Amino acid sequence: MTAHTRRTFVKGAASAAAAQAFPVLGANDSVNLAVIGVGGRGRGHLGFFADVPGARLAAVCDVNQAARERASAMVQNLQGSKPKEYADMRLLFDDKDIQAVSVATPNHWHALTTIWACQAGKDVYVEKPASHNPFEGEQMVKAARKYGRMVQVGSQSRSIGHKRKAVALLHEGVIGRVYMARGLCFRRRKSIGRTPQEPVLPGLDWDFFLGPAPMRPYTKNRFDYNWHWFWDTGNGDIGNQGVHEMDICRWGLSEYARPRSVASTGGKFVWKDDQETPNTQQSHFLFDESEIVFDVRNLSSPPEGGTPIRGSNFVGNIFFGSEGYMVVDPYGFQVYKGDEREKTMDEKPHEEKTWDPRPHMTNFIEAVRSRNYRALNADIQIGAAAAELCHLANIAYRAGRQLHVDRESGLFVGNGLANEMLTRRYREPYVVPEKV
């Protein structure tokens, strides 16, 4: 698609969205949903949305023919009807029967997919992190508001009962004045090794897969999940697993402004492989009256906060207040008070599976019906802000120094190189627009 063709597509989609209001859904009408990006996580979306009341899997879209075929067979097995198949999401956006899309593409496609969908009059459920860089998050919020779309980010902690209760207690003062949030992303991973350049897989549109990113030779490590560990397409584990805990840090602290400064150190230790992002990273964010300290580690790690480690992973949050501290993880939360660290609360989750995104997806479908974005548990503005903190940490890590933030503009003070990393040089025609 040429730049002119792309602009024509976007302009036409925007005009159609502006001219045609979202159809009124009756009590028994289903929301026709398409899943874009049906690799491992996308197939998970198919299974989860198949159980969400009011959602119908109407289409699947992927640049990989094999993935499309697997997903189509899965949908037929789940709901007894074959979905439409699209290799090009732009054609899907022209489909008037599709009312909403669920985006499980690699990170570098989240923003453009969401913006195109909003311009075409579709509501969007988009996986975390919301964006690949801070500029993209801002444009996603603008698109959602301009076109009146429901855009939910897949930060499912916002729909998990015990985490909602924990944050409510923090806001009520259960540990006094909260002054620090600690985010823990101890996610044990293995080295990805090295893979050579080779011919592109049959049926895979490699140009479209790379999309906004620079053109690179095809290697197995740049495809199929390991794209997370390359700066072109992913954001390392702070933007993969860590963005969940980063969102909870912001949520518990009630910090809605940008940090005054950010610093991040670490490196890639032990492994000798293709990975570009760090496997150990420590980040610090300073606000007016509080701070976030965030720790990412992909090597063996002990637990913190007094809770037992389960398996090889420990992800969670510790909040420190004037009267005690609270530990929150997928298995519940505990409150410790006073200098003797007396355990005063030990809450277990009510949900059977606290990683299950179906309550979060149900919240999205309900908002699609109500047309009230404030009913979303993780509206795009919430998701983009959490992702922005991860991006700021990565920029500080790559710049190799502490960065001071102009909180109004979002620019770094006196560091042009760091400011360049707030966005990217997009590859035509896959350009996140300045005006949405």
pLDDT tens-digit readout, 365-384: 999 999 999 999 999 999 99
Based on the domain organization, do 186 and 281 belong to the same domain? yes
Long-range contacts, 257-260 (Cβ 8 Å, 24+): 257/287, 257/288, 257/407, 258/388, 258/405, 258/407, 258/410, 259/285, 259/286, 259/287, 259/292, 259/389, 259/392, 259/405, 259/407, 260/286, 260/287, 260/288, 260/404, 260/405, 260/407
In a domain, 185, yes or no: yes
In a domain, 285, yes or no: yes
How confident is the model at residue 13, as a pLDDT?
Answer: 43
DSSP for residue 26: P
What tokens does 357 get?
């995104």
* Contact assessment for residue 239 and residue 155, using Cβ atoms and an 8 Å cutoff: no
In a domain, 93, yes or no: yes
How confident is the model at residue 284, as a pLDDT?
Answer: 98
| Residue 233's CATH number | 3.30.360.10
In a domain, 213, yes or no: no
pLDDT (tens digit per residue) in 8-48: 334 444 434 443 445 556 555 899 999 999 999 999 999 99
396, containing H or E segment: helix 380-399
What's the alpha-carbon Rg for the chain, to the nearest Å?
A: 21
Mean pLDDT for the chain overall? 93
Domain containing 12: what range?
3-157+357-377
CA-nearest of 427, 423, 420 to 139 is: 423
Q: Of residues 306 and 57, which shows the higher confidence score?
A: 57
| Residue 30's CATH number | 3.40.50.720
Q: In what order do the strands lie in the sheet with 84-86?
A: 84-86, 55-61, 31-36, 100-103, 123-126, 151-153
Based on the domain organization, do 252 and 332 belong to the same domain? yes
End-to-end CA distance of the chain: 19
How confident is the model at residue 24, as a pLDDT?
Answer: 56
Residue with tokens 């919020």: 141
Of the pLDDT bands very low, low, confident and very high (cuts 50, 70, 90), residue 246 is: very high
* Contact assessment for residue 79 and residue 58, using Cβ atoms and an 8 Å cutoff: no
Of the pLDDT bands very low, low, confident and very high (cuts 50, 70, 90), residue 70 is: very high
DSSP for residue 412: B
Based on the domain organization, do 143 and 163 belong to the same domain? no
In a domain, 232, yes or no: yes
Based on the domain organization, do 320 and 367 belong to the same domain? no
Based on the domain organization, do 165 and 153 belong to the same domain? no
* Mean of pLDDT values over 68-86: 97
Based on the domain organization, do 292 and 147 belong to the same domain? no
Based on the domain organization, do 371 and 331 belong to the same domain? no
Of the pLDDT bands very low, low, confident and very high (cuts 50, 70, 90), residue 3 is: very low
Instruction: Return the number of other C-beta atoms located less than 10 Å from residue 217's C-beta.
Output: 11
Percentage of the residues of the chain whose pLDDT score is greater than 70: 92
How many residues are listed for the chain in this entry? Answer: 436
How confident is the model at residue 180, as a pLDDT?
Answer: 98
> What three-state secondary structure class fits 291?
strand
pLDDT (tens digit per residue) in 311-333: 778 899 999 999 999 999 999 99
- pLDDT higher than 60, residue 191: yes
* Contact assessment for residue 218 and residue 199, using Cβ atoms and an 8 Å cutoff: yes
Based on the domain organization, do 184 and 148 belong to the same domain? no
How confident is the model at residue 307, as a pLDDT?
Answer: 65
CA angle 271, 274, 280 (to 5 degrees): 45
How confident is the model at residue 5, as a pLDDT?
Answer: 37
Based on the domain organization, do 256 and 404 belong to the same domain? yes
* Mean of pLDDT values over 131-140: 98
* Mean of pLDDT values over 273-289: 98
pTM of the model: 0.93
Q: Which amino acid belongs to residue 41?
A: R
How confident is the model at residue 97, as a pLDDT?
Answer: 97
pLDDT (tens digit per residue) in 199-211: 999 999 999 999 9
Based on the domain organization, do 334 and 410 belong to the same domain? yes
pLDDT (tens digit per residue) in 415-435: 999 999 999 999 999 999 999
Tell whether omega for the bond before 212 is within 30 degrees of 0, i.e. cis: no
In a domain, 206, yes or no: no
Based on the domain organization, do 318 and 286 belong to the same domain? yes
Based on the domain organization, do 151 and 233 belong to the same domain? no
pLDDT (tens digit per residue) in 80-120: 999 999 999 999 999 999 999 999 999 999 999 999 999 99
Number of structural domains the chain divides into: 2
In a domain, 22, yes or no: yes
In a domain, 259, yes or no: yes
